Structure 1
């Protein structure tokens, strides 16, 4: 079972427009509402594929109640931690060419007791094979929250993965989690310099592995994903002809990767599963996560010899 901790979940409202026009009245052609936040998305994706996941999250205010209702409707098991503030509402504006504009609220302020309860709840779930700390931190949460999660997971004998950015990711990396999943930009921020080619990303990932992180998986958008551990450097990507929404695609990639690893699949096969789930998510509206039926007909190209010269983001 995979336990996800989302310190700053959201109600995700996806609004589809013919074209976004600033300063004008924009009339939606479609609206979708889902439970959101990186860890919540990971749990939703695993559940939709028939796997076992539990979402741990703070809930408060009307949006918090809606979050719980949405998770219950999706069949996602949860451990809710009551907080005084209200959960956030995030809005994604989707255009027909796949362009996604996101408006993210800051989220509720968490005090020390609420933060401690979140961490204790995540560490106390019996039967966990992975604990995953995901996403940004809400106001008031300490930057070392994920580092504390790593320590708690280690004491419980559970592997831990982190998907975050900025100072929280840097603090977590210093505590050497079993896996990190930054995207291209987050990895560049972490190492302190641009990474224009796949070879640059590969070198940065190998350096992190040499400093104690067992697995580094980097999501690269349309360029797929790269996985590096002590024994492998694997690149996988899938081609999507008509992207609909990129919201949550990286979360679905992480979900597929962990789903594979938790079942004992080799790292390369797990990466392929992750890239397949992420690619399928791009074909779906809003932050909808793929079901098994959505995975059909999406080929994944996998190589154990990543092309170091590949320029990233060149479309």
Structure 2
């Protein structure tokens, strides 16, 4: 089974309020409240653990906030790196009809020493687990001394030297930089983010595939693109696989992309390919078909839940592979956002 190490550079305390509706500028009442440690990498790790995959979740946590870990599901998968500062707080309001409002706090900056220790702790986990994947997910905090975002070059290079593939799930300028750096194997943009990476709108499935291949020419191995109502597509140098799944209802979209990525990672390298690759000293062959259908299924399950915590895969909708038609017009065109 794929062994995965996740790093969440900016973990978060998630507070989710369930309300009948939200009226801006007025007092609103919640009928239910959930609070737990979260963050994109942690969400991926918890979902993989539920599916019985070996996984380790590295979390830099403020020294005053470690008490929060006692109420975190699956604490056995956590690898904690105490750092200065306090954990950020994200607030989500989910209305009965499914509309979601998010207020997310900015990431807490790192000292040079703290970031060095986070990198070393993460690489120790990659080595100890003989990991197939290192996945860095979420916001990229800035460094206190420079004001610049964290530099992932050393982490990525050393993880790949250890035989792991590198996956990146982020957005904005950081995605634009690392998505074209040749230092990562996988990125997970949505359609608008992919359009932003190539600098023009995308109207058809063929244009999405061409955009993915443009990034692959820079050294990327696979572009895993979520297409909203059109499902998702996995693009490699010589394959394009398209799939979708229908959620029974949409309650909360927060965390759906993390469940989608977890499902993909759970199947993208078969146990046989992983073993053969390790024995031969080569990266194992990817299997995007089974991976993409699992990812779509878990993603559709996630949006039908009130929080980012999946407790069972029993009700996961079945995903279907779709014939790739380059002329297919996207239901929602992809626009450049940055």
Say whether the fold is shared (TM-score over 0.5).
Answer: yes
**From 279, 288, 295, the counterpart of 2:300:** 279
Aligned to 2:70: 69
Q: Distance in 2 between matches of 1:206 and 1:238?
A: 24
1:307 positional shift: 4.9
Unaligned runs of 5+ in 2: 272-285, 334-338
Asked if 1 retains the 8 angstrom alpha-carbon contact of 2:6 and 2:44, the reply is yes
Asked if 1 retains the 8 angstrom alpha-carbon contact of 2:18 and 2:94, the reply is yes
Aligned to 2:225: 218
**From 292, 305, 309, the counterpart of 2:313:** 292
* More displaced stretch, 78-87 vs 164-173: 164-173
Q: Distance in 1 between matches of 2:105 and 2:303?
A: 23
Asked if 1 retains the 8 angstrom alpha-carbon contact of 2:230 and 2:330, the reply is no
Aligned to 2:238: 231
In the alignment, does 2:114 pair up with 1:114?
A: yes
**From 145, 149, 166, the counterpart of 1:143:** 149
Q: 1:160 to 1:170 in 2, by over 3 A?
A: same
Q: Deviations over 1:187-227 (max 9, x none)?
A: 22222222243332221111112222111101223322110
Correspondences of 1:40-189 after superposition (within 5 Å): 40-66=42-68, 68-71=69-72, 73-125=73-125, 126-127=128-129, 128-140=131-143, 142-143=148-149, 145-173=151-179, 174-189=181-196
Q: Distance in 2 between matches of 1:164 and 1:147?
A: 15
Q: 1:253 to 1:76 in 2, by over 3 A?
A: farther
1:22 positional shift: 0.2
Asked if 1 retains the 8 angstrom alpha-carbon contact of 2:166 and 2:184, the reply is yes
Q: Distance in 1 between matches of 2:153 and 2:289?
A: 27
1:54 positional shift: 0.6
Asked if 2 retains the 8 angstrom alpha-carbon contact of 1:256 and 1:271, the reply is yes
The structure that has the greater radius of gyration is 2
1:149 positional shift: 2.4
Q: 1:294 to 1:62 in 2, by over 3 A?
A: farther
Unaligned runs of 5+ in 1: none
Q: Distance in 2 between matches of 1:237 and 1:76?
A: 33
1:131 positional shift: 0.4
How many residues matched? Answer: 310
- Cα RMSD for the two superposed structures: 1.9
Correspondences of 1:193-272 after superposition (within 5 Å): 193-264=200-271, 266-272=287-293
In the alignment, does 2:321 pair up with 1:302?
A: yes
Q: Distance in 2 between matches of 1:306 and 1:31?
A: 44
1:63 positional shift: 4.0
Q: Given the two structures, how large is their TM-score scaled by the length of structure 1?
A: 0.92
1:304 positional shift: 4.3
Asked if 1 retains the 8 angstrom alpha-carbon contact of 2:65 and 2:87, the reply is yes
Q: Distance in 2 between matches of 1:263 and 1:33?
A: 35
Q: Given the two structures, how large is their TM-score scaled by the length of structure 2?
A: 0.86
1:272 positional shift: 0.5
3-state DSSP class of the match of 2:330? coil
